[in-house]
Chain A
Amino acid sequence: MNYLINQYKNIKKYKFLLQQLIIRDFKTKYKRSVLGVLWSFLNPLLTLAVQFIVFSTIFKSDIPNFAMYLIIGIVFFNFFTESTSMGLISIVSNASLITKVYIPKYIFPVSKVLSSAINLLLSMIPLFIVALITGVRFTLAILLLPFSLLCTIIFCIGMSFILSTAMVYFRDTQFLWGVISMLWMYATPIFYPESILPKNLLILFKMNPMYHFIRFARAIILNGASPEFKAYLFCIIAAFVPFIIGTVIFKKAQNGFVLHL
Protein backbone atom coordinates (compact mmCIF):
# COMPACT_ATOMS: atom_id res chain seq x y z
CA MET A 1 0.00 0.00 0.00
CA ASN A 2 2.76 2.35 0.98
CA TYR A 3 4.50 1.45 -2.24
CA LEU A 4 1.42 2.39 -4.24
CA ILE A 5 1.11 5.74 -2.48
CA ASN A 6 4.74 6.50 -3.24
CA GLN A 7 4.27 5.52 -6.87
CA TYR A 8 1.28 7.81 -7.09
CA LYS A 9 3.17 10.76 -5.59
CA ASN A 10 6.00 10.06 -7.98
CA ILE A 11 3.72 10.09 -10.99
CA LYS A 12 2.08 13.29 -9.81
CA LYS A 13 5.43 14.98 -9.31
CA TYR A 14 6.60 14.14 -12.82
CA LYS A 15 3.30 14.85 -14.55
CA PHE A 16 4.53 18.29 -15.55
CA LEU A 17 7.72 16.86 -17.03
CA LEU A 18 5.73 14.26 -18.96
CA GLN A 19 3.52 17.02 -20.31
CA GLN A 20 6.53 19.12 -21.32
CA LEU A 21 8.17 16.20 -23.12
CA ILE A 22 4.98 15.45 -25.04
CA ILE A 23 4.64 19.11 -26.05
CA ARG A 24 8.29 19.11 -27.10
CA ASP A 25 7.89 16.06 -29.32
CA PHE A 26 4.78 17.39 -30.88
CA LYS A 27 6.18 20.86 -31.51
CA THR A 28 9.47 19.68 -32.97
CA LYS A 29 7.97 16.96 -35.12
CA TYR A 30 6.71 19.23 -37.89
CA LYS A 31 8.77 22.26 -36.92
CA ARG A 32 10.57 22.80 -40.17
CA SER A 33 7.99 21.43 -42.58
CA VAL A 34 5.80 23.72 -44.65
CA LEU A 35 2.52 21.88 -44.13
CA GLY A 36 3.19 21.27 -40.45
CA VAL A 37 0.48 19.51 -38.52
CA LEU A 38 -1.52 18.99 -41.73
CA TRP A 39 0.73 15.99 -42.29
CA SER A 40 -1.05 14.22 -39.47
CA PHE A 41 -4.20 14.30 -41.64
CA LEU A 42 -2.54 13.90 -45.00
CA ASN A 43 -0.41 10.91 -44.09
CA PRO A 44 -3.24 8.42 -43.46
CA LEU A 45 -5.21 9.78 -46.42
CA LEU A 46 -2.28 9.42 -48.81
CA THR A 47 -1.46 5.92 -47.56
CA LEU A 48 -5.11 5.06 -48.02
CA ALA A 49 -5.09 6.42 -51.58
CA VAL A 50 -2.05 4.37 -52.55
CA GLN A 51 -3.22 1.14 -50.98
CA PHE A 52 -6.78 1.63 -52.17
CA ILE A 53 -5.65 2.01 -55.76
CA VAL A 54 -3.30 -0.95 -55.52
CA PHE A 55 -5.68 -3.33 -53.85
CA SER A 56 -8.98 -2.39 -55.46
CA THR A 57 -7.74 -2.27 -59.05
CA ILE A 58 -4.77 -4.59 -59.30
CA PHE A 59 -5.87 -7.20 -56.81
CA LYS A 60 -9.62 -7.29 -56.83
CA SER A 61 -10.88 -7.12 -53.30
CA ASP A 62 -14.42 -8.14 -52.43
CA ILE A 63 -14.59 -6.55 -49.00
CA PRO A 64 -17.68 -4.33 -48.64
CA ASN A 65 -16.70 -0.68 -48.11
CA PHE A 66 -13.06 -1.47 -48.69
CA ALA A 67 -11.92 2.15 -48.18
CA MET A 68 -13.29 2.23 -44.64
CA TYR A 69 -12.01 -1.27 -43.87
CA LEU A 70 -8.60 -0.20 -45.07
CA ILE A 71 -8.27 3.14 -43.30
CA ILE A 72 -9.15 1.69 -39.89
CA GLY A 73 -6.31 -0.78 -40.31
CA ILE A 74 -3.93 1.89 -41.59
CA VAL A 75 -4.60 4.34 -38.77
CA PHE A 76 -4.19 1.74 -36.04
CA PHE A 77 -1.14 0.13 -37.53
CA ASN A 78 0.55 3.46 -38.32
CA PHE A 79 0.22 4.36 -34.68
CA PHE A 80 1.75 1.04 -33.70
CA THR A 81 4.81 1.45 -35.95
CA GLU A 82 5.29 5.13 -35.17
CA SER A 83 5.00 4.87 -31.41
CA THR A 84 7.11 1.74 -31.06
CA SER A 85 9.90 2.99 -33.29
CA MET A 86 9.99 6.26 -31.36
CA GLY A 87 9.73 4.46 -28.04
CA LEU A 88 12.54 2.14 -29.06
CA ILE A 89 15.13 4.92 -29.28
CA SER A 90 13.70 6.97 -26.42
CA ILE A 91 16.22 5.86 -23.79
CA VAL A 92 19.25 5.88 -26.08
CA SER A 93 18.45 9.28 -27.56
CA ASN A 94 18.07 10.82 -24.11
CA ALA A 95 21.38 9.41 -22.92
CA SER A 96 22.83 12.85 -22.23
CA LEU A 97 20.01 13.56 -19.78
CA ILE A 98 19.86 10.16 -18.12
CA THR A 99 23.56 10.22 -17.30
CA LYS A 100 23.35 13.69 -15.75
CA VAL A 101 20.19 14.10 -13.82
CA TYR A 102 17.88 11.76 -11.96
CA ILE A 103 14.60 11.31 -13.80
CA PRO A 104 12.40 8.21 -13.57
CA LYS A 105 13.26 6.50 -16.81
CA TYR A 106 9.81 5.24 -17.71
CA ILE A 107 8.98 8.85 -18.56
CA PHE A 108 10.85 8.65 -21.87
CA PRO A 109 9.11 5.71 -23.57
CA VAL A 110 5.74 6.74 -22.13
CA SER A 111 6.06 10.31 -23.40
CA LYS A 112 6.98 9.08 -26.89
CA VAL A 113 3.96 6.79 -27.08
CA LEU A 114 1.65 9.49 -25.75
CA SER A 115 2.90 12.06 -28.24
CA SER A 116 2.20 9.62 -31.06
CA ALA A 117 -1.18 9.07 -29.45
CA ILE A 118 -1.97 12.74 -30.14
CA ASN A 119 -1.29 11.91 -33.76
CA LEU A 120 -3.57 8.91 -33.50
CA LEU A 121 -6.35 11.14 -32.23
CA LEU A 122 -5.74 13.62 -35.05
CA SER A 123 -5.93 10.82 -37.59
CA MET A 124 -9.45 10.09 -36.39
CA ILE A 125 -10.40 13.13 -38.48
CA PRO A 126 -9.42 11.60 -41.85
CA LEU A 127 -11.04 8.40 -40.63
CA PHE A 128 -14.34 10.20 -40.11
CA ILE A 129 -13.96 12.00 -43.44
CA VAL A 130 -13.71 8.64 -45.19
CA ALA A 131 -16.69 7.43 -43.19
CA LEU A 132 -18.75 10.42 -44.37
CA ILE A 133 -17.74 9.99 -48.00
CA THR A 134 -18.45 6.27 -48.07
CA GLY A 135 -21.74 6.76 -46.25
CA VAL A 136 -21.07 4.79 -43.08
CA ARG A 137 -23.98 5.05 -40.67
CA PHE A 138 -22.73 5.57 -37.15
CA THR A 139 -24.62 4.09 -34.27
CA LEU A 140 -24.17 4.48 -30.53
CA ALA A 141 -21.56 1.74 -30.79
CA ILE A 142 -19.07 4.41 -31.90
CA LEU A 143 -18.81 5.38 -28.23
CA LEU A 144 -16.82 2.17 -27.78
CA LEU A 145 -14.06 3.41 -30.08
CA PRO A 146 -12.04 4.96 -27.21
CA PHE A 147 -11.87 1.49 -25.63
CA SER A 148 -9.98 0.03 -28.57
CA LEU A 149 -7.78 3.14 -28.84
CA LEU A 150 -6.90 2.92 -25.16
CA CYS A 151 -6.06 -0.78 -25.40
CA THR A 152 -3.80 -0.08 -28.37
CA ILE A 153 -1.99 2.71 -26.48
CA ILE A 154 -1.43 0.49 -23.44
CA PHE A 155 -0.12 -2.28 -25.67
CA CYS A 156 2.28 0.13 -27.41
CA ILE A 157 3.60 1.43 -24.07
CA GLY A 158 4.36 -2.15 -23.07
CA MET A 159 6.11 -2.82 -26.38
CA SER A 160 8.13 0.39 -26.04
CA PHE A 161 9.30 -0.69 -22.58
CA ILE A 162 10.59 -3.97 -23.99
CA LEU A 163 12.12 -2.45 -27.12
CA SER A 164 13.80 0.51 -25.43
CA THR A 165 15.38 -1.84 -22.88
CA ALA A 166 16.63 -4.15 -25.63
CA MET A 167 17.96 -1.15 -27.54
CA VAL A 168 20.17 -0.06 -24.63
CA TYR A 169 21.94 -3.40 -24.56
CA PHE A 170 21.91 -4.23 -28.27
CA ARG A 171 21.84 -1.47 -30.82
CA ASP A 172 20.85 -4.01 -33.47
CA THR A 173 17.33 -3.88 -32.10
CA GLN A 174 16.59 -0.82 -34.18
CA PHE A 175 17.35 -2.52 -37.48
CA LEU A 176 15.74 -5.78 -36.47
CA TRP A 177 12.59 -3.95 -35.48
CA GLY A 178 12.35 -2.34 -38.92
CA VAL A 179 12.11 -5.81 -40.46
CA ILE A 180 9.92 -7.31 -37.74
CA SER A 181 7.37 -4.51 -37.87
CA MET A 182 7.12 -4.93 -41.62
CA LEU A 183 6.51 -8.65 -41.20
CA TRP A 184 4.01 -7.81 -38.48
CA MET A 185 2.14 -5.53 -40.87
CA TYR A 186 1.73 -8.30 -43.44
CA ALA A 187 0.64 -10.70 -40.72
CA THR A 188 -2.18 -8.36 -39.70
CA PRO A 189 -5.32 -8.23 -41.83
CA ILE A 190 -5.05 -4.58 -42.86
CA PHE A 191 -5.71 -4.73 -46.59
CA TYR A 192 -6.82 -8.34 -46.93
CA PRO A 193 -9.91 -9.99 -45.45
CA GLU A 194 -9.64 -12.24 -42.42
CA SER A 195 -11.22 -15.02 -44.44
CA ILE A 196 -8.04 -15.67 -46.45
CA LEU A 197 -6.07 -16.59 -43.32
CA PRO A 198 -5.23 -20.30 -43.49
CA LYS A 199 -7.42 -22.21 -41.04
CA ASN A 200 -4.62 -24.23 -39.48
CA LEU A 201 -2.60 -21.10 -38.73
CA LEU A 202 -5.55 -19.11 -37.41
CA ILE A 203 -4.53 -19.60 -33.79
CA LEU A 204 -1.15 -18.04 -34.60
CA PHE A 205 -2.75 -14.97 -36.17
CA LYS A 206 -4.99 -14.58 -33.17
CA MET A 207 -1.95 -14.25 -30.95
CA ASN A 208 -1.39 -10.88 -32.60
CA PRO A 209 -2.68 -8.09 -30.34
CA MET A 210 -3.07 -5.66 -33.24
CA TYR A 211 -5.49 -8.10 -34.87
CA HIS A 212 -7.86 -7.82 -31.92
CA PHE A 213 -7.73 -4.03 -31.61
CA ILE A 214 -8.35 -3.49 -35.32
CA ARG A 215 -11.07 -6.14 -35.44
CA PHE A 216 -12.83 -4.44 -32.52
CA ALA A 217 -12.73 -1.03 -34.17
CA ARG A 218 -14.01 -2.44 -37.46
CA ALA A 219 -16.90 -4.17 -35.73
CA ILE A 220 -18.16 -0.98 -34.12
CA ILE A 221 -17.70 1.22 -37.18
CA LEU A 222 -18.58 -1.10 -40.06
CA ASN A 223 -21.24 -3.23 -38.36
CA GLY A 224 -22.44 -0.46 -36.08
CA ALA A 225 -22.78 -2.84 -33.18
CA SER A 226 -20.79 -3.85 -30.14
CA PRO A 227 -18.73 -6.97 -30.76
CA GLU A 228 -19.31 -10.10 -28.72
CA PHE A 229 -18.20 -10.21 -25.09
CA LYS A 230 -15.15 -12.33 -25.93
CA ALA A 231 -13.72 -9.50 -28.06
CA TYR A 232 -13.50 -7.20 -25.02
CA LEU A 233 -11.72 -9.87 -23.10
CA PHE A 234 -9.23 -10.48 -25.91
CA CYS A 235 -8.51 -6.75 -26.20
CA ILE A 236 -7.86 -6.42 -22.48
CA ILE A 237 -5.57 -9.45 -22.44
CA ALA A 238 -3.78 -8.30 -25.60
CA ALA A 239 -3.17 -4.88 -24.04
CA PHE A 240 -2.24 -5.76 -20.49
CA VAL A 241 -0.17 -8.93 -20.85
CA PRO A 242 2.50 -7.19 -22.96
CA PHE A 243 2.20 -4.10 -20.76
CA ILE A 244 2.90 -6.05 -17.57
CA ILE A 245 5.73 -8.04 -19.14
CA GLY A 246 7.24 -4.80 -20.44
CA THR A 247 6.95 -3.06 -17.09
CA VAL A 248 8.65 -5.92 -15.28
CA ILE A 249 11.53 -6.11 -17.77
CA PHE A 250 12.00 -2.34 -17.77
CA LYS A 251 11.94 -2.08 -13.99
CA LYS A 252 14.50 -4.84 -13.62
CA ALA A 253 16.85 -3.43 -16.24
CA GLN A 254 16.61 0.31 -15.64
CA ASN A 255 19.34 0.60 -13.02
CA GLY A 256 21.80 -0.79 -15.54
CA PHE A 257 20.92 1.69 -18.29
CA VAL A 258 23.34 4.35 -17.10
CA LEU A 259 26.24 1.93 -17.40
CA HIS A 260 25.48 1.05 -21.01
CA LEU A 261 24.66 4.43 -22.52
Chain B
Amino acid sequence: MIQVNNVSMRFLISHDRITSLKEYITNFIKRQLQYEEFWALKNISFSVAKGEVIGIIGKNGAGKSTLLKIISGILKPTEGSVKCDGNIVPMLELGSGFDPDLTGRENIFLNGAILGYSKDFLEDKYNEIVGFSELGRFIDVPIRNYSSGMLARLAFSIATVVNPEILIVDEILAVGDAAFQEKSKARMMELMSGGTTVLFVSHSLDQIRELCNRVIWLENGTIKLIGNTEEVCSEYSKAYKID
Protein backbone atom coordinates (compact mmCIF):
# COMPACT_ATOMS: atom_id res chain seq x y z
CA MET B 1 0.00 0.00 0.00
CA ILE B 2 2.63 2.49 1.05
CA GLN B 3 6.26 1.75 0.35
CA VAL B 4 8.93 4.09 1.64
CA ASN B 5 12.37 3.32 0.22
CA ASN B 6 15.52 4.88 1.67
CA VAL B 7 14.00 8.30 1.94
CA SER B 8 16.27 11.15 2.97
CA MET B 9 15.35 14.78 3.13
CA ARG B 10 17.86 17.58 3.22
CA PHE B 11 17.04 21.18 3.97
CA LEU B 12 19.39 24.04 3.29
CA ILE B 13 19.19 26.56 6.03
CA SER B 14 20.66 29.96 5.38
CA HIS B 15 21.16 31.87 8.56
CA ASP B 16 19.11 34.82 7.71
CA ARG B 17 16.64 33.91 5.10
CA ILE B 18 17.20 35.88 1.93
CA THR B 19 13.98 36.96 0.34
CA SER B 20 14.93 40.03 -1.60
CA LEU B 21 16.99 40.38 -4.71
CA LYS B 22 19.13 43.10 -3.17
CA GLU B 23 20.12 40.95 -0.23
CA TYR B 24 20.84 38.05 -2.55
CA ILE B 25 23.11 40.08 -4.78
CA THR B 26 24.96 41.82 -1.96
CA ASN B 27 25.46 38.55 -0.15
CA PHE B 28 26.49 36.83 -3.34
CA ILE B 29 29.10 39.47 -4.02
CA LYS B 30 30.34 39.24 -0.46
CA ARG B 31 30.35 35.47 -0.90
CA GLN B 32 28.26 35.01 2.14
CA LEU B 33 25.74 32.71 0.60
CA GLN B 34 26.45 29.93 2.99
CA TYR B 35 23.96 27.31 3.80
CA GLU B 36 23.92 24.87 6.59
CA GLU B 37 22.80 21.39 5.66
CA PHE B 38 20.19 19.84 7.80
CA TRP B 39 19.04 16.27 7.28
CA ALA B 40 15.48 16.08 8.54
CA LEU B 41 15.24 12.43 7.52
CA LYS B 42 17.98 9.90 6.88
CA ASN B 43 17.46 6.58 5.11
CA ILE B 44 13.93 5.88 6.18
CA SER B 45 12.49 2.64 4.85
CA PHE B 46 9.32 0.87 5.81
CA SER B 47 6.14 -0.39 4.25
CA VAL B 48 2.55 -0.26 5.33
CA ALA B 49 -0.04 -2.84 4.36
CA LYS B 50 -3.62 -2.03 3.47
CA GLY B 51 -5.82 -1.42 6.49
CA GLU B 52 -3.01 -0.97 8.97
CA VAL B 53 -3.07 1.86 11.47
CA ILE B 54 0.44 3.13 11.96
CA GLY B 55 1.36 5.44 14.78
CA ILE B 56 4.32 7.76 14.48
CA ILE B 57 5.89 9.04 17.66
CA GLY B 58 8.95 11.08 18.49
CA LYS B 59 10.03 14.36 20.01
CA ASN B 60 9.38 17.72 18.39
CA GLY B 61 11.67 18.06 15.40
CA ALA B 62 12.20 14.33 14.99
CA GLY B 63 10.93 14.50 11.41
CA LYS B 64 7.35 13.28 11.85
CA SER B 65 5.66 16.03 9.88
CA THR B 66 8.34 15.98 7.20
CA LEU B 67 7.73 12.25 6.73
CA LEU B 68 3.99 12.78 6.38
CA LYS B 69 4.55 15.60 3.89
CA ILE B 70 6.76 13.38 1.76
CA ILE B 71 4.25 10.56 1.80
CA SER B 72 1.42 12.87 0.77
CA GLY B 73 3.47 14.29 -2.11
CA ILE B 74 3.86 17.85 -0.82
CA LEU B 75 7.63 17.54 -0.47
CA LYS B 76 9.91 15.74 -2.89
CA PRO B 77 12.50 13.69 -1.01
CA THR B 78 16.15 14.54 -1.68
CA GLU B 79 16.94 10.85 -2.02
CA GLY B 80 14.87 7.71 -2.18
CA SER B 81 11.28 7.24 -3.25
CA VAL B 82 7.79 6.69 -1.97
CA LYS B 83 5.17 4.52 -3.62
CA CYS B 84 1.52 4.90 -2.69
CA ASP B 85 -1.50 3.09 -4.11
CA GLY B 86 -4.78 4.81 -3.48
CA ASN B 87 -6.01 8.28 -2.80
CA ILE B 88 -4.64 10.14 0.17
CA VAL B 89 -6.72 12.49 2.24
CA PRO B 90 -4.65 14.68 4.49
CA MET B 91 -6.50 16.25 7.38
CA LEU B 92 -5.77 19.87 6.82
CA GLU B 93 -4.77 21.91 9.76
CA LEU B 94 -7.83 23.69 10.89
CA GLY B 95 -9.36 25.81 8.21
CA SER B 96 -6.29 26.24 6.03
CA GLY B 97 -8.38 25.54 2.95
CA PHE B 98 -11.18 27.87 3.94
CA ASP B 99 -11.98 31.30 2.64
CA PRO B 100 -13.31 33.55 5.41
CA ASP B 101 -15.63 35.53 3.15
CA LEU B 102 -17.51 32.52 1.83
CA THR B 103 -20.35 30.81 3.62
CA GLY B 104 -20.07 27.38 5.20
CA ARG B 105 -21.90 25.90 2.24
CA GLU B 106 -19.53 27.44 -0.30
CA ASN B 107 -16.54 26.39 1.76
CA ILE B 108 -17.69 22.78 1.78
CA PHE B 109 -17.41 22.77 -2.01
CA LEU B 110 -14.14 24.71 -2.09
CA ASN B 111 -12.46 22.63 0.57
CA GLY B 112 -13.88 19.40 -0.86
CA ALA B 113 -12.38 20.29 -4.24
CA ILE B 114 -9.03 20.96 -2.60
CA LEU B 115 -9.13 17.51 -1.03
CA GLY B 116 -9.80 16.07 -4.46
CA TYR B 117 -13.47 15.12 -4.16
CA SER B 118 -15.66 15.29 -7.23
CA LYS B 119 -18.65 17.57 -7.63
CA ASP B 120 -21.22 14.75 -7.74
CA PHE B 121 -19.76 13.23 -4.62
CA LEU B 122 -20.00 16.50 -2.69
CA GLU B 123 -23.56 17.15 -3.79
CA ASP B 124 -24.39 13.63 -2.69
CA LYS B 125 -22.79 13.91 0.70
CA TYR B 126 -23.62 17.54 1.38
CA ASN B 127 -26.38 16.82 3.90
CA GLU B 128 -24.24 14.28 5.67
CA ILE B 129 -21.43 16.80 6.11
CA VAL B 130 -23.75 19.50 7.42
CA GLY B 131 -25.43 16.97 9.71
CA PHE B 132 -22.19 15.73 11.17
CA SER B 133 -20.84 19.24 11.75
CA GLU B 134 -24.01 20.22 13.70
CA LEU B 135 -23.82 23.70 12.22
CA GLY B 136 -27.50 23.83 11.29
CA ARG B 137 -28.63 27.25 10.10
CA PHE B 138 -25.11 28.70 10.47
CA ILE B 139 -24.15 26.92 7.28
CA ASP B 140 -25.24 29.96 5.24
CA VAL B 141 -23.25 32.45 7.28
CA PRO B 142 -19.78 33.62 6.11
CA ILE B 143 -17.34 31.62 8.14
CA ARG B 144 -15.40 34.64 9.35
CA ASN B 145 -18.22 34.82 11.90
CA TYR B 146 -17.65 31.24 13.09
CA SER B 147 -16.04 30.36 16.38
CA SER B 148 -12.87 28.28 16.20
CA GLY B 149 -14.81 25.25 17.45
CA MET B 150 -17.33 25.61 14.65
CA LEU B 151 -14.54 25.87 12.08
CA ALA B 152 -12.88 22.77 13.46
CA ARG B 153 -16.13 20.83 13.30
CA LEU B 154 -16.71 21.84 9.70
CA ALA B 155 -13.13 20.94 8.70
CA PHE B 156 -13.33 17.56 10.38
CA SER B 157 -16.70 16.77 8.84
CA ILE B 158 -15.47 17.52 5.33
CA ALA B 159 -12.24 15.57 5.70
CA THR B 160 -13.85 12.41 7.03
CA VAL B 161 -16.93 12.18 4.85
CA VAL B 162 -15.05 10.05 2.34
CA ASN B 163 -13.75 6.61 3.00
CA PRO B 164 -10.26 7.44 1.85
CA GLU B 165 -7.82 4.66 1.10
CA ILE B 166 -5.10 6.44 3.04
CA LEU B 167 -5.80 8.91 5.81
CA ILE B 168 -3.12 11.11 7.31
CA VAL B 169 -3.83 12.53 10.73
CA ASP B 170 -1.44 14.98 12.34
CA GLU B 171 -2.64 15.57 15.90
CA ILE B 172 -6.09 16.87 15.38
CA LEU B 173 -8.28 14.51 17.32
CA ALA B 174 -8.94 17.16 19.93
CA VAL B 175 -11.33 19.47 18.11
CA GLY B 176 -14.56 20.99 19.31
CA ASP B 177 -16.19 20.43 22.67
CA ALA B 178 -16.15 17.20 24.65
CA ALA B 179 -19.24 15.80 22.94
CA PHE B 180 -17.84 16.49 19.49
CA GLN B 181 -14.50 14.98 20.46
CA GLU B 182 -16.26 11.76 21.37
CA LYS B 183 -18.13 11.82 18.09
CA SER B 184 -15.03 12.49 16.01
CA LYS B 185 -13.16 9.71 17.77
CA ALA B 186 -15.99 7.34 17.00
CA ARG B 187 -15.83 8.41 13.36
CA MET B 188 -12.07 7.80 13.29
CA MET B 189 -12.57 4.32 14.74
CA GLU B 190 -15.23 3.64 12.13
CA LEU B 191 -12.84 4.68 9.34
CA MET B 192 -10.05 2.58 10.74
CA SER B 193 -12.19 -0.53 11.01
CA GLY B 194 -13.43 0.07 7.46
CA GLY B 195 -10.13 -0.89 5.88
CA THR B 196 -8.62 2.56 5.62
CA THR B 197 -4.88 2.76 6.00
CA VAL B 198 -4.09 5.39 8.59
CA LEU B 199 -0.90 7.24 9.41
CA PHE B 200 -1.35 8.83 12.77
CA VAL B 201 1.00 11.27 14.46
CA SER B 202 0.40 11.96 18.12
CA HIS B 203 2.16 12.88 21.31
CA SER B 204 -0.42 11.05 23.35
CA LEU B 205 0.75 7.50 24.01
CA ASP B 206 -2.73 6.63 25.26
CA GLN B 207 -4.26 7.45 21.90
CA ILE B 208 -1.51 5.55 20.11
CA ARG B 209 -2.00 2.48 22.29
CA GLU B 210 -5.72 2.61 21.72
CA LEU B 211 -5.70 3.03 17.95
CA CYS B 212 -2.56 1.68 16.33
CA ASN B 213 -1.41 -1.74 15.14
CA ARG B 214 2.19 -0.74 14.70
CA VAL B 215 4.30 2.16 15.79
CA ILE B 216 7.29 3.92 14.28
CA TRP B 217 9.53 5.81 16.69
CA LEU B 218 11.48 8.56 14.96
CA GLU B 219 14.47 10.22 16.50
CA ASN B 220 16.68 12.83 14.82
CA GLY B 221 15.43 11.80 11.41
CA THR B 222 16.06 8.09 11.72
CA ILE B 223 13.89 5.19 12.75
CA LYS B 224 14.85 4.34 16.29
CA LEU B 225 12.42 1.50 16.62
CA ILE B 226 9.60 0.00 14.61
CA GLY B 227 7.34 -2.77 15.78
CA ASN B 228 4.17 -3.64 17.59
CA THR B 229 2.49 -0.96 19.62
CA GLU B 230 3.07 -2.19 23.15
CA GLU B 231 6.75 -2.88 22.65
CA VAL B 232 7.59 0.48 21.09
CA CYS B 233 5.40 2.47 23.47
CA SER B 234 6.94 0.95 26.56
CA GLU B 235 10.50 1.49 25.24
CA TYR B 236 9.56 5.05 24.39
CA SER B 237 8.09 5.80 27.79
CA LYS B 238 11.12 4.22 29.45
CA ALA B 239 13.49 6.39 27.41
CA TYR B 240 11.66 9.60 28.26
CA LYS B 241 10.44 8.50 31.67
CA ILE B 242 6.77 9.05 30.94
CA ASP B 243 4.11 6.81 32.30
Q: A residues near B, CB below 8 A?
A: 13, 16-17, 19-21, 23-24, 27-28, 31-32, 96-103, 169-172, 255, 258-259
Return B106 CB to nearest CB of chain A, in Å: 7
Complex Cα spacing A170 to B109, Å = 33
Asked if A170 contacts B20 (CB within 8 A), the reply is: yes
Complex Cα spacing A97 to B19, Å = 20
Asked if A259 contacts B99 (CB within 8 A), the reply is: no
Return A57 CB to nearest CB of chain B, in Å: 41
Asked if A172 contacts B22 (CB within 8 A), the reply is: yes
Return A89 CB to nearest CB of chain B, in Å: 14
- Taking each of A17, A32, A101, A170, which has the highest tally of chain B beta carbons within 10 Å of its own beta carbon? A101
Contacts of A172 in B (CB 8 A): 20-22
Q: Mark B102-123, 1 if CB is under 8 A from A, else 0.
A: 1000100110011110110000
Complex Cα spacing A81 to B110, Å = 26
Complex Cα spacing A99 to B69, Å = 8
Q: Using a Cβ–Cβ cut-off of 8 Å, how many residues does chain B contribute to the interface with A? A: 31
Contacts of B110 in A (CB 8 A): 20-21, 24
Q: A31-B101, A101-B74, A170-B24 are in contact. Are A20 and B113 (CB under 8 A)?
A: yes
Q: Mark B33-59, 1 if CB is under 8 A from A, else 0.
A: 000000000000000000000000000
Closest residue on chain A to residue B122 by CB atoms: A16
Asked if B109 contacts A20 (CB within 8 A), the reply is: yes
Contacts of A98 in B (CB 8 A): 74
Contacts of A258 in B (CB 8 A): 69, 74-75
Complex Cα spacing A211 to B77, Å = 44
| B92 contacts A by Cβ under 8 Å | yes
Closest residue on chain A to residue B110 by CB atoms: A20
Q: A13-B116, A16-B118, A27-B102 are in contact. Are A101 and B72 (CB under 8 A)?
A: yes
Return B183 CB to nearest CB of chain A, in Å: 24
Return A132 CB to nearest CB of chain B, in Å: 36
| B73 contacts A by Cβ under 8 Å | yes
Contacts of B73 in A (CB 8 A): 102
Q: A27-B102, A170-B20 are in contact. Are A101 and B113 (CB under 8 A)?
A: no
Contacts of B21 in A (CB 8 A): 170, 172
Return B39 CB to nearest CB of chain A, in Å: 14
Contacts of B97 in A (CB 8 A): 97, 100-101
Contacting A97 at CB < 8 Å: which of B75, B96, B119? B96
Contacting B19 at CB < 8 Å: which of A21, A99, A170, A259? A170
Contacting A100 at CB < 8 Å: which of B12, B24, B74? B74
Complex Cα spacing A98 to B110, Å = 15
Contacts of B12 in A (CB 8 A): 259
Contacts of B19 in A (CB 8 A): 169-171
> Can you list 24 A-B pairs, Cβ within 8 angstroms, ordered by A?
A17-B113, A20-B109, A21-B110, A23-B106, A27-B106, A31-B101, A97-B114, A99-B69, A100-B92, A100-B93, A100-B96, A100-B97, A101-B92, A102-B73, A102-B88, A103-B114, A169-B19, A170-B20, A170-B21, A170-B24, A171-B19, A172-B22, A255-B76, A259-B11
The 8 closest A-B pairs by CB, nearest first: A102-B73, A17-B113, A20-B113, A96-B96, A28-B101, A170-B21, A172-B20, A171-B19
